Chain A
Amino acid sequence: MGTTTVAHHDEHHDHPTGMMRWLTTTNHKDIGTMYLTFALIMFMVGGALIMAVRAELFQPGLQLMKPEFFNQLIGVHALIMIFMALMPAATGFANWMLPLQIGAPDMALPRLNNWGFWLLPPAAILLTLPYILALFGIGDGALATGWTFYAPLSVQGGIGVDFAIFAVHLLGISSVMGSINVIVTIFNMRAPGMTMMKLPMFAWGWLITAFLLIATIPVLAGAVTMLLTDRHFGTHFFDAAGGGDPILFQHLFWFFGHPEVYILLLPVWGFMPQILQTFARKPMYGYKAQVYSLWAIGTLSVVVWAHHFFTVGMPVPALLYFMYSTMAISLPLAVLFYCWIATIWKGSMSFETPMLFAVGWIILFGIGGLTGLVLADVAADAQYHHTYFVVAHFHYTLFAGGIMGIMAGVYFWLPKMTGHMYNEKLGKLHFWLTAISFNLTFIPQFFLGLAGMPRRIPDYALQFAEFNMISSIAAFVLGLSQLLFVYNIVTCARGGKKATDKVWEGADGLEWTLPSPPPYHSFTEQPVIK
């Protein structure tokens, strides 16, 4: 990949400083930084909520909270982690890196970009405000239905449901605006010579994510709008007593909810091969195979939704269809795994923190994928549905596959973003503490699920006590070890050893041709890809 002159150009004109800079900025790097900072803050908030849950589950019986409050913690934890930590983190990377990687001066729609971000803080306030209102005797706390809003519980729930519905609308608008921006940027702002099949893999991952968001978020928004009318305007869309159908809500929710899993993972699948090739010092293996596999997975993800509620009662042909179509996803996913492993196979590997996270991610996300196959089996799912097996499975996919992937990306690009190297020893310590405590938290939960412990309960039978105790202790180590991550990022942003332009010996791509940190206006002349 060759470029014309990529000179340093750091004129700041007369744009405002301080708070006004961040409120009004349309610069993709500023907005990317805001997304990533917001995601990190909300990751810690969501983590704190689940620490309280694990404290309650440390031993049988009710020690710390009422069951209603327990339910609120679980639902809000999930919504925060999905919509306010993982998605904004991926969008932050998109903002920071897509224009640099495709040689664009900025995102295609900078004002929309600013607006998309600033919808997030109000949504976060809406989601968590009911906790505070309840302290003053207003309402009965936050959403207590779990993140799935299942009717009829959500039709009957307190004001927390209304707040969550409005929050989800704002988050959805923000996501759709971000998606439109990504699609338009990739379609319309590529540097001359950068054909679609020369796109960096991260851009492919995000392009498919953006299409999935536009295809599914409106359906979720429609479903929760109708839920709102059921609650306050006398309709009965999901109310069986009035002729409605609660199961229909599950179909609508999971039409969004299953692709959402891939929305969270596809950006990571995009940049992870770039990390692997950098630290294996080898070209990426199977570029085209990976692109086609990403498309195949994206397409399949919108036709498999009902495997989330096999046990609700469906005709056998429907069960078989959703089982086989779900299992079919494992084929393109296996291609991706093959390509990732082939990329590092016989490479000249070094294990800096991003590579540690990347290799750990392949293994742990692999466990998430394989246990998903178990749950895709209708007969097995009848046993495992709504147990801790499911909880362990989706944390292997979304924590190991999603958040640990994001962490790999943070360590990979942080020197480029800040111009400083992070503390490598601290980064490695963070990896090992995270990987070990993560496994100690969730492996016991597989066994709890196999033994029949249901999810979303604050109390449990004595036979589950030991595994829960191990899981809780490990969860606290996992939570506390993330403070190292925050500390490392903050100290790196404030100073430290100067990063070179290329940062990593094996780095390849346009972003590494720019200085670290890149100037406010990235390219003085548009690069040309040869």
Chain B
Amino acid sequence: MVLFNRRVITNMDKQPDEARRNRSVKLALFFGAIAVLWYVVSMIVVWIQ
């Protein structure tokens, strides 16, 4: 599903190269995964307590 009209994404065509964009996504996924894991782990720790 296209969430936003491509033309609306104002700066995307001005962003640096594809490799840098991919690195941004990978970094975002990495930190997002840490946040979700931490959320789950904190609840598991409380559960065990």
In the assembly, what is the distance between CA of A181 and CA of B24, in Å?
9
How many residues in B have their beta carbons less than 8 Å from beta carbons of A?
Answer: 31
Indicate which residue in A26, A108, A221 contacts B39 across the interface (CB closer than 8 Å).
Answer: A221
- Could you say which residues of chain B place their CB within 8 Å of the CB of A520? 10
Residues of chain B from 21 to 46 with CB closer than 8 A to chain A in the complex? 23-25, 27-28, 31-32, 34-36, 38-40, 42-43, 46
- Could you say which residues of chain B place their CB within 8 Å of the CB of A156? none
Residue pair B27, A187 in contact (C-beta under 8 Å): yes
Residue pair A526, B16 in contact (C-beta under 8 Å): yes
Q: From residue B48, how far is it (CB to closest CB) to chain A in Å?
A: 11
In the complex, whether B12 has a CB less than 8 A from a CB of chain A is yes
Knowing A226-B46, A248-B49 touch, does A105 contact B24 (C-beta < 8 A)? no
In the assembly, what is the distance between CA of A24 and CA of B34, in Å?
28
In the assembly, what is the distance between CA of A110 and CA of B28, in Å?
12
In the assembly, what is the distance between CA of A110 and CA of B42, in Å?
30
- Could you say which residues of chain B place their CB within 8 Å of the CB of A180? 27-28, 31-32, 35
In the complex, whether A148 has a CB less than 8 A from a CB of chain B is no
Residue pair A111, B3 in contact (C-beta under 8 Å): yes
Residues of chain A from 88 to 125 with CB closer than 8 A to chain B in the complex? 105-106, 108-112, 114
Q: From residue B39, how far is it (CB to closest CB) to chain A in Å?
A: 4
In the assembly, what is the distance between CA of A252 and CA of B12, in Å?
40
Residue pair B16, A105 in contact (C-beta under 8 Å): yes
In the assembly, what is the distance between CA of A277 and CA of B13, in Å?
36
- Could you say which residues of chain A place their CB within 8 Å of the CB of B11? 26-28, 105-106, 110, 521
Which A residues contact B (CB, under 8 angstroms)?
13-16, 24-28, 105-106, 108-112, 114, 176, 179-181, 183-184, 187-189, 214-215, 217-219, 221-223, 225-226, 237, 245, 248, 252, 520-521, 526
Which B residues contact A (CB, under 8 angstroms)?
3-5, 7-12, 14-16, 20, 23-25, 27-28, 31-32, 34-36, 38-40, 42-43, 46-47, 49
Task: List the 6 shortest-distance A-B pairs measured between CB atoms, nearest first.
Answer: A218-B39, A106-B11, A222-B42, A218-B38, A108-B24, A222-B43
